[in-house]
C-alpha cells in the first residue's frame, strides 16, 4: 500500500516545497514582484527571485508533475551546491541552512518517486549550438559570481536582507548556477529542455532588469545587460530546438 502511495506523496511534497520557495518563506515571487520598483535594489531582488522561483521553485513544480524526472533533480542539486559554495565564498553563515534544506527536500522527493538516472547517464550526444552558448557563458557568469561574493564579504550597504541573508550571496549562487547548468545540460541532453530553459530565462530577465535600472546594485553595464538578454534567449531557443530534434529521433 505504501509503495503505491509513494508517487502521490512525492507529488504532494514537491508541490508544497515549490509553494514554500516561491511564496513563503522563500519569497521568490515576492522579490520578483518588486524588480520594477524604485524603492528596492532591483537587480538584487531579481537575482533572489529568479533563484528561488525559477531554479528551485520551478524544478519542484516539474517534479510535482513528473516525480520520476531526473532533470529537475539535477537542477536542484546544482542549486543546492551553488548555495553551499556561496556560504563559504561569500562568508554568509546565515545562508547555510538553505542549501541543506534544498538538498534534503530534493532527496526526499527523489527517493519517494524512485527517480531513475539511467536516461540521464545514457544520453551523451550534444547539440552544438547549446554547447557553444553554454561554453560562452562559463567565464562571464563565473566572473560575475566572484564579484558578487566579494561584494558580500565587503558587506556593502546597497544590499538587501531576506531571512537574515545578504542578497549578494544568493546573487553569487545565481551566477555560479548559470555557469554550470547550461554546460551540464549541453553534455547531458536528457536534462533538456527544463534545465537550460530555466537558466536562459533567468539570464535574460536579469539582463533586462539590469538594462532598465543602470545604477542598480549588482547590475551589469548596458552592453553586458544586452549580452545577458541575447545569451539567455539564445539558450532557450537552442534548447527547445534540441528537445524537438531529440523527440523526433526517438519517435516521440
The neighbour count for residue 11, using CB atoms within 10 Å, is 18
Of 13, 11, 35, which Cα lies nearest the Cα of 160?
Answer: 35
Q: 161 φ, ψ to 5°?
A: -120, 130
pLDDT of residue 246: 76
C-alpha to C-alpha distance for 22 and 61, rounded to whole angstroms:
10
Of 43, 53, 44, which Cα lies nearest the Cα of 209?
Answer: 43
C-alpha to C-alpha distance for 144 and 184, rounded to whole angstroms:
19
C-alpha to C-alpha distance for 71 and 14, rounded to whole angstroms:
14
Reported as a single tens digit per residue, the pLDDT across 118-137 is 655 545 567 788 999 999 99
Give me the mean pLDDT over the 167-194 stretch. Answer: 95
User: At residue 252, does pLDDT exceed 50?
Assistant: no
Reported as a single tens digit per residue, the pLDDT across 66-82 is 998 999 999 999 999 99
Q: 220 φ, ψ to 5°?
A: -95, 170
pLDDT of residue 106: 97
Reported as a single tens digit per residue, the pLDDT across 87-108 is 999 999 999 999 999 999 999 9
Give me the mean pLDDT over the 181-187 stretch. Answer: 94
- Return the domain boundaries, the chain: 2-249
What's the chain's Rg over C-alpha atoms? Answer: 18
Q: Are 217 and 159 in contact (CB under 8 A)?
A: yes
Residue with cell 566579494: 150
Cis preceding-peptide flag for 193 (omega within 30 of 0)? yes
C-alpha to C-alpha distance for 45 and 166, rounded to whole angstroms:
11
Q: Which three cell numbers stand for residue 173?
A: 549562487
Amino acid at each position: 500500500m505504501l509503495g503505491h502511495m509513494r508517487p502521490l506523496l512525492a507529488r504532494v511534497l514537491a508541490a508544497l516545497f515549490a509553494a514554500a520557495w516561491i511564496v513563503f518563506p522563500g519569497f521568490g515571487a515576492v522579490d520578483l514582484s518588486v524588480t520594477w520598483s524604485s524603492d528596492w535594489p532591483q537587480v538584487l531582488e531579481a537575482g533572489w527571485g529568479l533563484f528561488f522561483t525559477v531554479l528551485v521553485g520551478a524544478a519542484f513544480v516539474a517534479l510535482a508533475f513528473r516525480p520520476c524526472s531526473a532533470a529537475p533533480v539535477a537542477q536542484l542539486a546544482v542549486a543546492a551546491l551553488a548555495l553551499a559554495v556561496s556560504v563559504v565564498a561569500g562568508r554568509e553563515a546565515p545562508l547555510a541552512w538553505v542549501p541543506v534544506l534544498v538538498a534534503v527536500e530534493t532527496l526526499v522527493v527523489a527517493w519517494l518517486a524512485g527517480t531513475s538516472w539511467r536516461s540521464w547517464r545514457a544520453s551523451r550526444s550534444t547539440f552544438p549550438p547549446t554547447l557553444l552558448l553554454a561554453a560562452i557563458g562559463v567565464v562571464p557568469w563565473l566572473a560575475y559570481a566572484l564579484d558578487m561574493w566579494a561584494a558580500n564579504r565587503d558587506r556593502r550597504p546597497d544590499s538587501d536582507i531576506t531571512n537574515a541573508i545578504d542578497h549578494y550571496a544568493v546573487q553569487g549562487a545565481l551566477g555560479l548556477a548559470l555557469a554550470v547548468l547550461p554546460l551540464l545540460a549541453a553534455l547531458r541532453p536528457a536534462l533538456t529542455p527544463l534545465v537550460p530553459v530555466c537558466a536562459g530565462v533567468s539570464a535574460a530577465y536579469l539582463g533586462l532588469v539590469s538594462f532598465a535600472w543602470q545604477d542598480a546594485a549588482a547590475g551589469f553595464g548596458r552592453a553586458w545587460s544586452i549580452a545577458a538578454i541575447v545569451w539567455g534567449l539564445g539558450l532557450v531557443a537552442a534548447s527547445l530546438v534540441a528537445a524537438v530534434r531529440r523527440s523526433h529521433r526517438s519517435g516521440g
